[in-house]
Chains A and B, each alone.
Chain A
Amino acid sequence: MSHHRETGHEEQQLPLTPAMFHVLLTLADEEMHGYAILKEVERRTEGKVRLSAGTLYGIIRRLNEEGWIVESNKRPTAGLDDERRRYYRLTELGRHVAVGEARRLEELLEMARSKKLFSKPKLA
């Protein structure tokens, strides 16, 4: 039932929510299961972005439906892994969207820089 959107229209989906972007980023390097994603996001943001089970799977459902991630064929290793786990992998489209979002943020940052927003505040 998922609708895979064609490349080229993903700009319309931007901006992403920070949490969605983090999940996409987290999957950029490797396939992961839900709990690992949650831990990785928390580690990388030094605890600033904390996902709960509910929000995480809401995002996964959405990313899955958009066709930005898919369930990978990787199965949990019997005995070592919780068999409930499923692994997720970034699709080409997902990578494209993540890059788009990164560019958008970069441009935004550029603008902020040109306004000298980052120069030291004058001391009173």
Chain B
Amino acid sequence: MNPATLPRSQRIFRALLRVLPFDFQTNYGHEMEGVFHEQEREIKERGGPMDFLKLWSETIAGIFRTAPSEHWEILKQDLAYGLRMMRKNAGFTVIAVLTLGLGIGANTAIFSVVHAVLLRPLPYPEGDRLAFIRQQAQKLGINDIAFSTHEIEDYRGQNQTLSGLVEYHTMSFILYGHGDPDRIRTAVVSANYFDLFKVQPLLGRAFLAEDDKLGAPAVLILSYEYWKNKFGADPGILGRTFELNDRLHTVVGVLPPVPQYPVESDVYMPTSACPFRSAQKFIDNRDARMMRAFGRLKPGVTLAQARADLATIAGRLKSEYPKSYPDNMGYAAVSSPLQEELTQGARPTLLVLLAAAVFVLLIACANVANLTLARMSRRERELAVRTALGAGRSRLLRQLLTESFLMALVGGALGLVLAYSSLELLTQFAARLTPRAREINIDASVLAFTLLAALGTSIIFGTISAVFTRANLSSSLKEGSTGVGAGQSKNRVRSALIVSQVAFSFMLLIGAGLMLRSLIKMLRVDAGFVPQRVLAMRTTISFSKYAKQEQLVEVIKKILDRVQAEPGVISAAMSSSYPLDSETISVGPNSGTFKIQGRELAPGEAPPVGSYSLISPAYFRTLGIPLNEGREFTEADGGKGPIVAMINEAMKRRFWPNEDPIGRSISYDDGATWATIVGIAGDVREFGLDRPALPEIYIPHSQIAAPSTLSARTMADPRSMGEAIVRAVHEVDPQIAVTHVVTLEQARAESTTSPRVTATLLGIFGGLALVIAAAGIGGIMALAVSQRVREIGIRIALGAQPSKILGMILGHGLLLAAVGVGIGLAGALAVTGLVKSLLFEITPTDPATFLGVAVVLVSAAIIASYLPARRAAAIDPIEALRTE
């Protein structure tokens, strides 16, 4: 009967039956309809409307009560059956679980990073309303200028959109009284800093407004880690005092274990306690900029509104203080979500890795689907018989999906173990990219992701195998044991799966290859200095003890004389930073504008910008930076001598492309003093091997001293000299903190950690994909050979040479690989744009990489097909014809 013509009640009843398992419906649905029909008829004859209502409610309740237990029954059977099958096919199970485990593990591991860094909101109450505020000189291409005290006050006082605006800067101070002088990373912050972030101290109190007044008693808040590592989480820490910058500081609080942005600090102090920040000269100078600013959006205020608000204030400042904000700098103030600010450096790398991990999982799925299909062909007759005996097809589909889910679940558990064990390594890696790395862990969301990945995986590979098994079941019995027709259509499916594995592997290997090639290029790049046999260290000299410039110059000279006198030291230098120092890289260039004597700026023209380095005379010699023209600094420069400067080649190219800059003068204080250029040094990649040298101005220490690093070129292995050099510095002044002793080779290697780990991870993923794809090709070739034994036997009997048979099978493998490479090529061309931002001096369509990967994949395919091909060539025709 056409369902549309059925009485409505019967149609509703049929719809209700659908909540029951399919088999139950086929088995009892008809009878149930019959029973319901009789009940209805009876009520029609002798009942009232209330009886109808009762019948319906009882019927509905009955069906819904029965359905769960019926589904559960089937699930129990399927699980038991699935487990039995897994045990019975232990080899298959192990390979499938391993493959899925690797795929799911890779995804879980990368997802845990993506989740912690990119997806999870900042771990502060309403962290999404925190904003990073910055000033820019847009016409000069400088997009992050620090704030001066006046500017902080202006933006804090005039804004309408922020519920608070706090300042922040970091300093390295020396802490005395705990063994060697310790350099502590100190964050100097507004009193309401922690209120803005909504962080409650674990012990003690946050800063109060009184703490921030000039002359207030100096107080400190310790970070949780510093308190734990340095003071063994001593609960009696509150009230203890420490000597810092010639003053006693009292500990008033300890922070809870929260991530600290933008960098981790050991202690926090209010602005009044920082000798630089609280100096009247600094406070009064609108152009003395040192601080960063954070704000919190008022409730209901959008980021766009806050931006407009800041732009209004910037405009006002420009017209009020034209000297501080000249037209030609393109002054602006902007804000961005703090979360974005902290994670944007990590985003491209993490997304590429996530995509790679997903590819690995897809390849794993295709591979397991293929294995399952192969196994199914052995089970086909069993399944066909079960169908013939009345097992519904959806019942079989359900059984197969349950089996695949079981497999994926075990794979998922394995993946979780893999992800968990790689967590520490990944955290170290991510720490190169974002301050949020510390938050990486495997939490409920990651577990849910793993479960979903397992579920999704089982649905993908389970459906592929189930659908194609189903399609062949009916023909399987008819055809008899050879199953030629069905076998062919199934071989097509298997071939398609292999081709897709090759294609995905190709794309992954392209990614890995591009990263590897650009890493090699980066490692081979000439950084402009000779890193071998140079030891560098951070030296923190008490600002209060050497308050005057002359005192500093004198102590620098003493240190350098003493270190140079050390046997084994060829030369030594002090400088504001050294190339590829991790801290220099994260802080970025110390850029500023300058004037060139005799060149007037056209109206609206941007002034020249350079990056400043403060160095002692032997700096170039010590670091192996070539002097291209003119002379180096000498002891005679600075002080009472002439004011001089050196520049690098990039500076010359930029500002004196057609003339000799030697003898020209520049001014970095708006024309108050002029420095004569005396020499030109070679370009140095200070801020990363992948970043070309910026125009750079070198200023001798004797004019402006900020001796924060010491480097020494040694005769022997510099690492063996570390202790002697530190001792030499301490002989001059035991209160100088010497920390972070590294060789320049280490610093150089460390600066490439991020691309190296990215290349390694992509390489692992690509290698995994290659092995899986090659094993897949080998497997399908072996299967094809075993199916064609008779045919090959006949060919050989008819005179085909073994070499021809060999070639035929190899050709088949080659064809699969070639089609896969072709599709992968198209795919790779479509997505390599993704990795573009991660590459160095190489295009995303680098022909050498593409060719190399294609050769590798095709060779792997040939090697994988070789064994089955040789077996085919060795088939004995008589044996082959006898077997059937």
Chain A bound to chain B: yes
Known: A52-B62, A58-B70, A86-B31. 6 other contacts (CB 8 A): A34-B32, A53-B32, A54-B59, A54-B62, A55-B65, A57-B31
Q: Chain A residues near B67: list those with CB within 8 A.
A: 54
Q: Is B637 an interface residue (CB 8 A)?
A: no
On chain B, the residues within 8 Å of A33 by CB distance are 31
- B267 CB, min distance to chain A CBs, angstroms: 70
How far is A55 from B35 in the complex, measured between Cα atoms in Å? 12
Which A residues are CB-close (under 8 A) to B70? 58, 61
> Are B34 and A82 interface neighbours, CB within 8 A?
yes
Q: List 24 A-B contacts (CB under 8 A).
A: A1-B391, A34-B32, A34-B35, A38-B35, A38-B39, A51-B62, A52-B61, A52-B62, A52-B63, A53-B32, A53-B36, A53-B59, A54-B59, A54-B64, A55-B62, A55-B65, A55-B66, A56-B35, A57-B24, A58-B65, A58-B66, A84-B31, A84-B34, A85-B34
Q: Residue on A with the closest CB to B67?
A: A54
Residue of A nearest to B55 (CB): A52
CB contacts (< 8 Å) of A53 on chain B: these are 32-33, 35-36, 39, 59, 62-63
| Set of chain A residues within 8 Å of B20, measured between Cβ atoms | 54
A51 to B61, CA, bound (A): 11
Residues from chain A with a CB closer than 8 A to the CB of B59 are: 52-54
Within 8 A of B (CB), among A51-93: 51-58, 60-61, 82, 84-86
Residues of A within 8 A of B246 (CB): none
Interface residues of B, Cβ cutoff 8 Å to A: 20, 24, 27-28, 30-39, 58-59, 61-67, 69-70, 391
Given contacts A35-B38, A61-B27, A61-B70, are A54 and B32 in contact (CB under 8 A)?
A: yes
Chain A min CB distance to B436 (Å) = 54
Report the bound CA distance from A61 to B27 in whole Å.
9
Does A95 reach chain B (CB closer than 8 Å)? no
A78 to B594, CA, bound (A): 108
- Name the B residues within 8 Å of A38 (CB-CB): 35, 39
Chain A residue contacts of B32, Cβ below 8 A: 34, 53-54, 56-57
- Determine the chain A residues whose CB is within 8 A of the CB of B38 once the complex forms: 35, 82
Contact for B33 among A1, A60, A84, CB less than 8 A:
A84
Please tell me if A96 contacts chain B, counting CB pairs below 8 Å.
Answer: no
Instruction: Contacts A34-B35, A85-B34 given; indicate if A52 touches B58 (C-beta within 8 A).
Output: yes
| Majority secondary structure of chain B interface residues (helix, strand, loop or mixed) | helix
Most buried by A among B27, B31, B36, B39: B31
Q: Is the CB of B28 within 8 A of A61?
A: yes
Nearest Cβ on chain A to B64's Cβ, whole angstroms: 7
Contact, CB under 8 Å: A57 / B61:
no
A11 to chain B minimum Cβ distance, whole angstroms, is 22
Kindly provide the distance from the CB of B247 to the nearest chain A CB, expressed in whole angstroms: 82
A residues 17-72 touching B (CB-CB < 8 Å): 33-35, 38, 50-58, 60-61
Set of chain B residues within 8 Å of A61, measured between Cβ atoms? 24, 27-28, 70
- Point out the residues of chain B lying under 8 angstroms from A50, CB to CB: 58
Q: Assuming A61-B24, A82-B38, is B33 touching A54 (CB within 8 A)?
A: no
Most buried by A among B35, B38, B61, B391: B35
Q: How far is the CA of A85 from the CA of B38 in the complex (A)?
A: 11
Which residues of B have CB within 8 Å of A51?
A: 62
User: Chain B residues near A56 (CB, 8 Å)?
Assistant: 32, 35, 62
Chain B residues, Cβ within 8 Å of A85? 31, 34
- Interface-centre pick from A33, A50, A51, A84 (highest chain B CB count, 10 A): A84
Most A C-beta atoms less than 10 A away, residue of B34, B39, B65? B34
CA of A84 to CA of B59, assembled, Å: 19
- A82 and B30 CA atoms in complex are apart in Å by 11
Q: Tell me the complex Cα distance, A85–B64, Å.
A: 23
Complexed CA–CA distance, A34 and B34 (Å): 9
Nearest 8 pairs of A and B residues by beta carbon:
A54-B62, A52-B62, A54-B63, A58-B66, A84-B34, A55-B62, A53-B32, A57-B28
The CA of A38 and the CA of B42, in the complex, are separated in Å by: 13
Q: Which residues of A contact B30 (CB under 8 A)?
A: 84
Report whether B65 and A60 are in contact in the complex, using a CB–CB cutoff of 8 Å: no
- A56 to B33 Cα, complex, angstroms: 12
A51 vs chain B, min Cβ distance (A): 8
How many Å from the CB of B721 to the closest CB on chain A?
81
CA distance A56 to B20 in the complex (A): 13
Please measure, in the bound complex, the distance between the C-alpha atom of A58 and the C-alpha atom of B17, giving whole angstroms: 12
Residue ID in chain A nearest B56 by CB atoms: A52
Q: How far is the CA of A60 from the CA of B38 in the complex (A)?
A: 18
Closest to A65 in B: B73
Give Cα A61–Cα B21 distance, bound, in whole angstroms.
12
Residues of chain B with a CB closer than 8 A to A54's CB:
20, 32, 59, 61-67
Residues of A contacting B39 in the complex (Cβ-Cβ under 8 angstroms): 35, 38, 53
Distance in Å: Cβ of B383 to nearest Cβ of chain A: 14
Distance A51 CA – B24 CA, assembled complex (angstroms): 18
Closest to B37 in A: A82
A17 to B69, CA, bound (A): 14
Count chain B CB atoms within 10 A of each CB in A34, A53, A84 and give the residue with the most.
A53
How far does the Cβ of B657 sit from chain A's closest Cβ, in whole Å?
Answer: 88
CB distance from B448 to the nearest CB of A (A): 33
Measured between beta carbons, the chain B residues less than 8 angstroms from A35 are: 34-35, 38-39
| Binary contact readout A81-123 vs B (1 if CB under 8 angstroms, 0 otherwise) | 0101110000000000000000000000000000000000000
Among B27, B65, B66, chain A packs the most CB atoms within 10 A around the CB of: B66
Do B27 and A34 have beta carbons less than 8 Å apart? no
- State the Cβ distance, A5 to closest chain B Cβ, in Å: 15
Report the minimal beta-carbon distance from B11 to chain A, rounded to whole angstroms: 15
Q: How far is the CA of A82 from the CA of B33 in the complex (A)?
A: 11
What is the minimal beta-carbon distance from B656 to any residue of chain A, in angstroms?
Answer: 91
A39: shortest Cβ distance to chain B, in Å? 8
Report how far A34 CA is from B38 CA in the complex, Å: 10
